[in-house]
Structure 1
Amino acid sequence: MTQPHAAAEDPALARLVDAALPHVAFDGWSEVTLRAAARDAGLSPDEARRLLPRGAVDLAAAFHRRGDREMIARLAAADLSSLRFRDRVASAVRYRLEAAGDREAVRRAAALFALPHNAPLGAQLIWGTADAIWTALGDTSQDINWYSKRATLSAVYSATVLYWLGDESPDHAATWDFLDRRIEDVMRIEKLKAQISESPALKGLAALPARLFARVRAPAAPRDDLPGRWPSPPREGKESP
């Protein structure tokens, strides 16, 4: 199992997140929670602000990234070789939700990142989770598929999180069924794309978009935003990079 690079959690930041969780249920991911967490973790307000320049929203982001690290560690230790690839993806999403643990903390974080001024960071975090899953599962795509895989999984993961937040079934069985249905929907789309590419009648219609998409490349190095590059058109007499 390929393990993506994941920076270790700063010990002081780890203490802050741990100290914040008991307060989140009452005060959400707020400045009130941040001040209480700093006090409980033995950090001064200045030390907390150094770790979290944007305040409480950075604290919620740190909680999310902790879940990604725990998922990556579990994937690295798991033997999924006997599973179909779609089931490996489902297992990774399940590991990520189980790593989150505290549903109320996730619910409060979802509400925070749904605010318009925090939505870009929320999308960035979900993208990072999807990228961590694909990287851990050994994805080697270098073209438009690098983006489409992560975009699709981001949508599946987001929908599954929302379902999980309201799921009261034993052991969250309804959530795992929901996840399987969403992945099945994605597989149907992939089959349709394959049928289009194999159809003489439809292949011509898809030729121009295919030529455009062929120019898209995966990022040269991991990034936290929505990374990538669009190569410049080759100059006459020179090969494209």
Structure 2
Amino acid sequence: MTDPKTETAPAEKLLEAALNHVPFDGWTEPTYRAAVADSGIDPAVARGLYPRGAVDMALAYHRQGDAEMVRRLEQADLSAMRFRDRIATAVRLRLEAVEDREAVRRGTTLFSLPIYAADGAKAIWGTADLIWTTLGDSSDDVNWYTKRATLSGVYGSVVLFWLGDDSPGHQATWDFLDRRIDDVMQIEKIKAQLRDNKLLSGLLAGPNWLLGQIKAPDRAPDPDLPGHWAPPRRP
């Protein structure tokens, strides 16, 4: 008899079954149906777990990689690193967490379709958010958004480079990543110089005040609001 504590959850079992078919059929409906058949999960349960079928499976696979990245980041000793190197390390750990590059390639193809582009952008934003949050970002103003937007751009470009990289140990990818991070640091340097310029500071006082009113989203949404669910509290 299977120990309930070690039994694979239905969602994970379905995803594992799907990964056997993704290299051949991509994140498609045939892959979803094959995963349901192979896993033995009731079709109604499977549809409840992944309402959009393989699309939601692809997103679950991405989140699985994010979780592994966070686990590796929390175990790594980053204390002696510059912050830009911590960011680069996080991106590298995210890519190294991938066990099947073809699954990522197929996911990139899926989320390049206009109908799923928003899902792909949201997934990349989520990765960038996790990196900043895990590294201790405490910004609560417009910088919260610009940091994640910039890192999303870096991460997206590095993934595309990595997918076509056949260099030993993906060294070309890590060099590309370092160049992208350096480009971002140059932008931050220019922004700092502009802030220190008294004339420009005066001219930009209005726009800066307006930007200062932008706040980071609440990370603990009210569970009573529509669309949010909270498990019942234990007595």
The answer to whether the aligner puts 1:23 opposite 2:16 as a matched pair is no
Aligned amino acid, residue 123 of structure 1: A
The answer to whether the aligner puts 1:74 opposite 2:75 as a matched pair is no
Q: How does 1:51-66 map to 2 (within 5 A)?
A: 51-66=49-64
How far is the alpha carbon of 1:222 from its aligned partner?
Answer: 5.6
Give the distance between the partners of 2:64 and 2:36, measured in 1 at CA.
Answer: 18
Aligned amino acid, residue 37 of structure 1: A
Query: Which piece of structure 1 moves more, 25-34 or 98-107?
Result: 98-107
Q: How does 1:148-227 map to 2 (within 5 A)?
A: 148-221=146-219
Q: Residues 110 and 29 from structure 1, CA distance in 2 versus in 1: closer, same or farther, beyond 3 angstroms? A: same
Q: Residues 222 and 114 from structure 1, CA distance in 2 versus in 1: closer, same or farther, beyond 3 angstroms? A: farther
Give the distance between the partners of 1:86 and 1:97, measured in 2 at CA.
Answer: 17
Partner SS for 1:14: helix
Give the distance between the partners of 2:167 and 2:24, measured in 1 at CA.
Answer: 25
Percent of counterpart pairs with the same letter? 60
Select 1:114's aligned residue among 112, 115, 118.
Answer: 112
How far is the alpha carbon of 1:99 from its aligned partner?
Answer: 1.1
Aligned amino acid, residue 153 of structure 1: L
Match in the other structure for 1:6 = none
Match in the other structure for 2:92 = 94
Give the distance between the partners of 1:222 and 1:137, measured in 2 at CA.
Answer: 19
Following superposition, which runs of at least 4 residues in structure 1 exceed 4 angstroms of deviation?
Answer: none
Aligned length: 214
Structure number with the bigger relative contact order (C-alpha 8 A, sep ≥ 6) is 1
Aligned amino acid, residue 136 of structure 2: G
How far is the alpha carbon of 1:101 from its aligned partner?
Answer: 2.4
**Cα contact 1:61–1:125 (8 A) shared by 2:** yes
Give the distance between the partners of 2:127 and 2:145, measured in 1 at CA.
Answer: 13
Partner SS for 2:40: coil
How far is the alpha carbon of 1:39 from its aligned partner?
Answer: 1.6
Aligned-CA RMSD value = 1.2
Give the distance between the partners of 1:70 and 1:174, measured in 2 at CA.
Answer: 23
Q: Once the two structures are superposed, what CA deviation does each residue of 1:167-218 show, in whole Å capped at 9, x if it has no partner?
A: 0000000000000000000000000000001112322232222111100001
Give the distance between the partners of 2:220 and 2:124, measured in 1 at CA.
Answer: 15
Q: Once the two structures are superposed, what CA deviation does each residue of 1:132-162 show, in whole Å capped at 9, x if it has no partner?
A: 0000000000100000000000000000000
Aligned amino acid, residue 129 of structure 1: T
How far is the alpha carbon of 1:40 from its aligned partner?
Answer: 1.6
**Cα contact 1:64–1:100 (8 A) shared by 2:** no
Aligned amino acid, residue 89 of structure 1: I
**Cα contact 1:60–1:109 (8 A) shared by 2:** yes
Match in the other structure for 1:128 = 126
Select 1:14's aligned residue among 12, 15, 30.
Answer: 12
Structure 1 gaps of 5+ residues are: 1-9, 224-241
Give the distance between the partners of 1:107 and 1:39, measured in 2 at CA.
Answer: 24
Q: Once the two structures are superposed, what CA deviation does each residue of 1:64-89 show, in whole Å capped at 9, x if it has no partner?
A: 00000000111111111111110000
Aligned amino acid, residue 71 of structure 2: A
Give the distance between the partners of 1:69 and 1:84, measured in 2 at CA.
Answer: 23
Q: Once the two structures are superposed, what CA deviation does each residue of 1:207-236 show, in whole Å capped at 9, x if it has no partner?
A: 22211110000111168xxxxxxxxxxxxx
